[in-house]
Amino acid sequence: MTAKLRAFGAFWYDFIIGDDWRVALGVALAFVATFAIGRWTSVPTWWIVPSAVAVLLPTSIRRATRPSR
Amino acid sequence: MSDTALFAAVFLACIVEAVEALTIVLAAGTARDWRSALAGVLAGLVTLAVIIAALGPAISSIPMGGLRLFVGGVLLVFGLQWLRKAILRASGHKALHDEAQIYQTELAMAERATTVRRGSVADWYAFTLSFKGVVLEGLEVAFIALTFGSNQHNIPLAAIAAASAVVLVTALGLALKAPLAGVPENSMKFVVGIMLTSFGIFWGAEGAGVVWPGSDAALLVLIPATGLYALALVSLFRRHAPVRVAPVPARTVEEVSAS
């Protein structure tokens, strides 16, 4: 039963998060920053998520293309 | 604009996944037993319908702000996965998706497997191969259709886009009785990755409280900007690409679906 639950969890983790968990974490942090800055300051926040994507995508690809040591 | 984008994203994603599922079902039917393979397709479609019936109302019941944040966030993570793989393929760091080769691999594996009868299913291998192919490929489409449809308050349009793609691919598959190797899958995956990422940014940020300059018109900037950025990354990473990408090795259905 535990093995089945673990396999079920692993399937959904792989389905949603995929190969690089850092991307998911970066996206989550970008949303938190957007929400926090928008709520407590008057600074426009529309640029935060696109900027995060602009950094997360190449760094994730860089990790994937780096020769394994 | 949004309805057209909704239709295009779901239709293209569904074409890509349906082509992949068709390859697996064709291999199972040709190498093993058509009746068991088609029973697997039917069981897979029923499973997908149950998942959609359970997830659809659950997603639709989330309040709009929360829905946009949750769905946008998941869509963005999901879209970045597609885009990352598409860029790796286009820049030569990952083997291109080749349906003809995958078909041959699946065919060879199916021919080697032993025949086991279970209940009314004459060939359990053909049944499970088709079942897994349909469920794993279909799940991605169901997810994309549900998230796009619920955010646009137009699940019927998403369903029509998905159904038309499945009907088109099935008709072509039946006519040709061969994997649809001519479909430009790699380019289509690239476009879908751009759409998912752009809409994920837009909806997710809106859910986190962003007011986009120009409102919905911001998408007219976001989508081409994401596309141009992805193309620039292809060009950048192509410079460091290995001379030749190794051919696709023999893989299981799960591995084929995950790629």
Flag if A23 and B84 touch (Cβ within 8 Å).
Answer: yes
Of B215, B68, B243, residue with least CA distance to B60: B68
The three-class DSSP label of residue A45 is: coil
Report how far apart, in Å, the C-alpha atoms of B39 and of each of B1, B76, B241 are.
39, 35, 43
Cβ distance B77 to B165 under 8 Å? no
Flag if B80 and A46 touch (Cβ within 8 Å).
Answer: no
Of A7, A25, A15, residue with least CA distance to B55: A15
Please tell me which residue, A46 or A3, carries the higher pLDDT value: A46
Flag if B87 and A57 touch (Cβ within 8 Å).
Answer: yes
Q: How many CB pairs under 8 A join A and B?
A: 96
Residue in A closest to B233 by C-alpha: A58
Q: What is the pLDDT of residue A58?
A: 95
Flag if A65 and B88 touch (Cβ within 8 Å).
Answer: yes
B47 interface with A at CB cutoff 8 Å: no
- For the stretch A13-54, pLDDT in tens is 887 788 889 999 999 999 999 999 999 999 999 999 999 999
Residue A14 included in any domain: no
- For the stretch B59-89, pLDDT in tens is 777 777 777 888 888 889 988 998 999 999 8
Residue A33's domain comprises 19-69
C-alpha torsion B93→B97→B102→B104, nearest 10: -90
Residue A40 included in any domain: yes
Instruction: Report the number of distinct structural domains present in chain A.
Output: 1
Could you tell me the residue ranges of all domains in chain B? 2-258
Q: What is the pLDDT of residue B259?
A: 52
When pLDDT is averaged across residues B218-239 and rounded to a whole number, the result is: 93
- For the stretch B76-134, pLDDT in tens is 998 899 899 999 988 888 877 676 777 777 777 777 777 777 777 778 888 888 898 88
DSSP for residue B181: T
Strand partners, B118: B121
Residue A27 included in any domain: yes
Cβ distance A16 to B77 under 8 Å? yes
Of B20, B8, B96, residue with least CA distance to B256: B20
Written as six digits, the tokens of B81 are 């996965």
Residue A11 included in any domain: no
